[in-house]
């Protein structure tokens, strides 16, 4: 997929994975819509790129907000790539891992479980379906290709840890829907892929500890290379998926052979 004279959409585009991916797609010629709620980082990144890319404040739990981001991308140039890499806030009042039944014998509220699934799975499908609808209007390129959508799963979708029931369910849902969506969209020439990252040094860790502390704690859990992942390594893979038309319908683990 050639991104020259094309647009791309990255939800969570001001975050760690997102900003690295935005830069990689912009390098390949795309005008990127940076969809996020962090106005300061998003606007600064758009200004840094200076190639016609824009920041659009986007609430991924609001379909109208998603539609605005998608429509903005399509107005810049044909939307050829969408990368869904956003996170979201924890359930209201929740702190730390949410075990199904905690040490005090209290169950996780269903509202907390549903909130996490909404953040990581339902919103991802909403972005995917709206982006695909826009891509379906594109003129086909080589091999009848109109676009590509990359969702973000997690190795927790395969091997979740205590307290991750809701997160694992959501990320397992990403893994489960990827092949089906690819088959749904195949007649339109739109590909669907997913990346399942392991432990990466993103803003989520940097908000709680220094890079050195994070690497010391989490790095030894990765067999090789013995460190946390760099968000740009996610972006490199995302950019390759966009370029390689024969990658379709699967989830790629990106984890340094890490298994929980």
For the annotated catalytic residues, the residue numbers are 167
Which residues, listed in sequence order, are joined to residue 253 by a DSSP beta bridge?
A: 196
Which residues, listed in sequence order, are joined to residue 195 by a DSSP beta bridge?
A: 152, 252
Looking up tokens 């959501």, which residue turns up? 170
DSSP state of 136: T
The string of DSSP letters for 218-251 reads HGGGSSSSSSPBPHHHHHHHHHHHHH-TT--S-E
Please answer whether residues 196 and 253 qualify as being in contact, where contact means their C-beta atoms are separated by less than 8 angstroms: yes
Question: Nearest Cα to 85, choosing from 194, 10, 190?
Answer: 10
Query: Cα–Cα–Cα angle for 23, 28, 31, nearest 5°?
Result: 70
**Tokens coding 30:** 């795309």
H/E stretch holding 199: none
H/E stretch holding 54: strand 54-57
């Amino acid at each position: 997929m050639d991104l020259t004279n094309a647009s791309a959409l990255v939800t969570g585009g001001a975050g760690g994975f997102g900003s690295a991916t935005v830069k990689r797609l912009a390098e390949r010629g795309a005008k990127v819509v940076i969809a996020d709620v962090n106005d300061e980082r998003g606007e600064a990144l758009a200004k840094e790129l200076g190639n016609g890319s824009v920041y659009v404040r986007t609430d991924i739990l609001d379909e109208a907000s998603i539609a605005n981001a998608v429509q903005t991308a399509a107005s810049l140039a044909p939307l050829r790539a969408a990368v869904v890499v956003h996170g979201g806030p924890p359930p209201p009042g929740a702190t730390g891992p949410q075990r199904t039944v905690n040490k005090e014998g209290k169950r996780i509220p269903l509202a907390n479980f549903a909130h996490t699934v909404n953040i990581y799975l339902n919103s991802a499908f909403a972005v995917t379906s709206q982006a695909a609808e826009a891509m379906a209007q594109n003129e086909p390129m080589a091999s009848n290709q109109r676009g590509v959508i990359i969702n973000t799963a997690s190795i927790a979708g395969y091997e979740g840890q205590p307290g991750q029931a809701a997160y694992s369910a959501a990320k397992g849902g990403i893994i489960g829907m990827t092949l089906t969506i690819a088959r749904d969209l195949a007649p339109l020439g739109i590909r669907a892929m997913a990346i399942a990252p392991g432990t990466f040094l993103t803003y989520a860790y940097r908000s709680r500890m220094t890079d050195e502390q994070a690497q010391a704690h989490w790095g030894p859990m990765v067999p090789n290379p013995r460190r946390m992942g760099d968000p740009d390594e996610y972006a490199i893979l995302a950019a390759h998926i966009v370029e390689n038309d024969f990658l379709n319908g699967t989830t790629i683990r990106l984890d340094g052979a890490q298994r929980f």
